[in-house]
Amino acid sequence: MQGFILRVTKVKNEDLIVNVLTTRHLFTLYRFYGARHSTINLGYKIDFEVEYEPGYLPKLRHVTHLGFAWLRDLQKHLIWQRFITLLYAHLREFEEVDDFYFSMLDRLAKKLTRQEPRRACIEEYVRLLEFEGRLHTHMQCFLCDKEVHEPALARAFLPAHAHCIGKEPFAKQKIDYLFRYKDTQFLDDGEVERLWQTLQEGF
């Protein structure tokens, strides 16, 4: 089956614990140190098999790295890994997951071929918020409950007054468009950077 490596933890003797997201599961698997060690890296999409043995963590076997051309682009690679790390922190409690998350990473990986990586991540993150019912399209400040005309965005892109959270605001139409169409085209690079910083506060 196919999956994305969401986390890699070194254990004794260079062995690894690897968390792999598939369409249905977030697996925690054991990987013995071996010659094909290099196919295991945070964010890699892999084809693999799981070997079960009673009393032990299931083993990650027969791994093939399904590479992306953009992995050689250091900036894209680092931003992808950052997004993956945030996603793992978000999903870590679950063993069974909706296929939304796998599909989201698949779509994001394709978008990274052409698109600026922070923009691609922000657009997919807005989709995630919508999927989870956490996207606040109604511009009301989560702190004072009053309407917001120029939203500043807190963690999880929660709208608020600039003065209520001490952050710089955005033009409302730009955020409306982003939330509605999952599209960053009307945001300038500085605004995209601010959204990327907010996204990194955690999913």
Min separation Cβ 158 and Zn ion, Å: 11
Tell me if 144 contacts Zn ion by CB under 5 A: yes
In whole angstroms, what is the distance from residue 135 CA to residue 76 CA?
A: 26
Cβ distance to Zn ion smaller for residue 1 or 144: 144
Tell me if 161 contacts Zn ion by CB under 5 A: yes
Nearest to 39 by CA among 79, 78, 8, 70: 8
Min separation Cβ 150 and Zn ion, Å: 11
Min separation Cβ 198 and Zn ion, Å: 16
Cβ distance to Zn ion smaller for residue 66 or 144: 144
What is the enclosing helix (H) or strand (E) of 21? strand 16-21
Min separation Cβ 201 and Zn ion, Å: 18
Buried/exposed code over 142-167 (b: 16+ C-beta within 10 A; e: otherwise): eeeeeebeebbbbebbbbbbeebbeb
From candidates 5, 122, 128, 141, binder to Zn ion by CB under 5 A: 141
End-to-end CA distance of the chain: 27
> Which positions touch Zn ion (CB under 5 A)?
141, 143-144, 161, 164
